[in-house]
Amino acid sequence: MTSSDNHLSPLAVSPRKACVLLDCGNTHLYELLRDGQLESYLDGHARRITMRSIHRRIARLLASASATGTATAEMPQPRRSGRKAEHDRWSLEAACQTTEARTVRG
């Protein structure tokens, strides 16, 4: 075995590994298989999804994104950043109400 043998990529992966690679759920993965967007075969009872079809799907998604102008550089900020500002505003309002309540009682 040579040192280059240690760096071989798999030709096919399990559905679970394909879900991880594509960052999708099991249901969506099987929809992609049903729609013919991914290739698979059975090895005994084990389903295997070809890495070639996974790479082609990613290439199609990237081509589609660049054609529609939604490349990664133009992606919007994550939704979570807005939640923090809203939470801070709520905290500020709650603090103000607490302060007002103390002055009224006091």
If one compares 16 and 5, the residue with the highest pLDDT of the two is 16
Q: Please answer whether residues 45 and 52 qualify as being in contact, where contact means their C-beta atoms are separated by less than 8 angstroms.
A: no
Residue 22's pLDDT band, with cuts at 50, 70 and 90, is: very high
pLDDT in tens, 64-92: 998 887 665 555 666 666 555 555 555 55
Whether the predicted pLDDT of 55 surpasses 70: yes
Beta strands in the chain (DSSP E): 12-13, 40-43, 46-50
Whether the predicted pLDDT of 98 surpasses 90: no
3-state SS, residue 49:
strand
Q: Please answer whether residues 73 and 37 qualify as being in contact, where contact means their C-beta atoms are separated by less than 8 angstroms.
A: no
Burial of 14 (0-12, 13-18, 19+ CB in 10 A): middle
